[in-house]
Amino acid sequence: MEQIQSVFNLENAIGNWQQAMLVTALTPDDVEELTQHLVDEIERLQSSGLDQDEAWIIAKKRIGQPSDIDVEFSKVNSDFATNRNMLMAFWGATIFMVMQSLLFVLPTRLWHLVGHGSTLHIEYLLSYTQTNNLLNIFSVTILIGGIVIIARSNQIVIWFNRMLTKNSGIINPILLVAGSFIAFFNYIPFKNMFFNISKGTNFNSTLNMLAIIFYGSLIFGTAWFTMRYCKKELRNFKTFNENINWLTALAIGLIIQMIILSTKFFELYGLKYIIIALLFCTAGWMIGNSKRYVLNLFTVQLGAFYVYWVMLFMFAHWPWLSCATDYFSILFALIIGFIIKKLTTPHPHTS
């Protein structure tokens, strides 16, 4: 028995058990709650005289097999497994985008800075040797990262789940701001490759639209599935709308307004008012489901107003008349969306 105790590691056993539970229909909150029950049961059994490994075996059996628990929780968290898989897919793509920026795009710009002084003409192609070195570094880094992830998968998955659950309120704003910057940083070299061949054509506009759709879907999809993964009230669209508060409304206004501003930076002027109508009408409709919809309507337009104020303050040449026109278009779209929601919502009959 003493030999078994020297080999058995309760912390590793609980970590492996958590790993098995995290691939079921259990949410991170459910896993934490069950883990606490498991630890309490182990301590109770040990206090009655059982050894650590014996207490572990009995406690784990009393909690239940992961497959049986998965069946029961699938009835409650029917779409959670799909959301978790989407979360991992989006985060994998986002991490790959960051690695591409750090290991390929950034060195490219640094080499041009060294080679051309203060001029950063990133349309110049790298030499064969430089390109080959970058690709080798990129490949080796991914290979090493893959080996580390496979070797330490249990610890990484548990750490990643805990990090998302505890820090989602910080991670999502950072993801939206830093992710947008990194996406733009990655896209510019690619766009400049086609600059000369696309002169006099509409190719640039098409390429810009494709970039907005691709990177926008990636960044906001990652943020959305992260929120849904960490917060029970956000796991379907209806409950998300009902739980919108002033802070969420402010974030919605900022996010939509940043999307609208991208039409100017990407030279897609014709789509601006279509995007305003679609997105802010949708925002008004969503806020119509919330409890404090007056406050939320005020804060969602406040996010848009703040972005315009920053633009006018930072850029003296920014057309204030265009900003005013856009802002009143936003207010109009919000009100229309809100009215549509209220008119289409059945009211209970009062006696």
pLDDT tens figures, 317-339: 556 777 788 888 889 999 999 99
Res. 295: pLDDT tops 60: yes
Res. 147: pLDDT tops 60: yes
Judged by DSSP in three states, 120 sits in: coil
Residue keyed to tokens 């699938």: 74
DSSP track, 262-329: HHHHTT-GGGHHHHHHHHHHHHHHHHTTSTTHHHHHHHHHHHHHHHHHHHHHH-TTS-HHHHHHHHHH
pLDDT value of position 5? 46
> Which is more confidently placed, 66 or 341?
341
pLDDT value of position 2? 46
Res. 168: pLDDT tops 60: yes
pLDDT value of position 339? 92
What number is the average pLDDT over the span 166-176? 77
pLDDT value of position 281? 93
pLDDT value of position 302? 86
Q: How far apart are CA 274 and CA 169, in angstroms?
A: 31
Res. 350: pLDDT tops 70: no
Closest by CA to 83, choosing from 211, 179, 227, is: 227
User: Could you give the residue ranges of the DSSP H alpha helices within 8-152?
Assistant: 10-21, 28-47, 52-63, 66-76, 80-100, 106-115, 128-151
> Which is more confidently placed, 23 or 291?
291
What number is the average pLDDT over the span 234-247? 74
Cβ atoms < 10 Å from Cβ of 177: 13
> Which is more confidently placed, 226 or 315?
226
pLDDT tens figures, 75-132: 766 667 777 788 888 888 898 888 888 777 776 666 554 444 444 444 445 566 766 7
pLDDT confidence tier of residue 30, bands split at 50, 70 and 90: confident
Res. 171: pLDDT tops 50: yes
Res. 27: pLDDT tops 80: no
pLDDT value of position 36? 87
pLDDT tens figures, 4-24: 445 677 888 887 787 777 767
Q: How far apart are CA 22 and CA 164, in angstroms?
A: 13
Which percentage of the chain shows pLDDT scores above 70?
74
pLDDT tens figures, 253-282: 877 877 777 666 555 556 778 888 898 999
What number is the average pLDDT over the span 23-27? 72
pLDDT value of position 335? 93
Cα angle 149, 32, 5 (rounded to 5 degrees) comes to: 75
Which percentage of the chain shows pLDDT scores above 90?
6
User: Any idea which of 21-30, 195-204, 243-252 has the lowest mean pLDDT?
Assistant: 195-204
